[in-house]
Amino acid sequence: MDFLDKSDEEIIKIANPIWDDLVRASNNKDYSGFTKHFSAQMLYGANEVEIGKQWASNKLLTSLSEKKEAFTTAAFEWVLSRPPSKEEMSLSLKFLQAQEAQLAKGGTPFAGANAAKVPAAKDLTQRARENLVQVLFNHNDFVTIR
């Protein structure tokens, strides 16, 4: 299979079940479930003991959650390398709720000059999360005054 010849939608259709299995196995610390989709070549070349140690002690891989608070904390830690303050958590949760409500209303997609290379998620919760991550990338922690 040549992924370069596949559309984004075809790749996502292949990847989503693999990702779901990966999340489930990670949360359950099920190493064999975690590696079941690895190619034989990948498994042959990988140092299973080292990968297993890294995987088992990785907080991110063993604490994936669908809860908005957990996602928000993880997003702050990934983007800003710190947890959110109480106020930031509160504002972020309100943002996610407001985004889902706004997206549920529908509307006309923006028809800009350049189409997005990766389309926005169709799932409203996922799309709201994508929007929160974009907001975090515009956080003032990244502003440099010269």
- Could you report the per-residue pLDDT of 8-58, keeping only the tens digit for each? 788 778 877 877 777 777 777 666 676 676 766 666 666 555 555 555 555
Q: How close are the terminal C-alpha atoms of the chain, in Å?
A: 50
pLDDT at 87: 94
Sign of the CA dihedral running 18, 24, 28, 29: positive
Determine whether 103 is exposed, middle or buried from the number of CB atoms within 10 Å of its CB (0-12, 13-18, 19+).
middle
pLDDT at residue number 138: 79
Q: Which pLDDT belongs to residue 83?
A: 92
Q: Is the pTM of this model over 0.75?
A: no
CA distance 38 to 35: 5
Q: What is the pLDDT of residue 89?
A: 93
Per the prediction, the chain carries an average pLDDT of 75
What is the token pair recorded at 145?
């005054």
Residue-wise pLDDT for 105-121, tens only, equals 987 766 666 666 666 77
Q: Residues 57-87: pLDDT tens digits?
A: 555 555 556 678 888 888 888 888 889 999 9
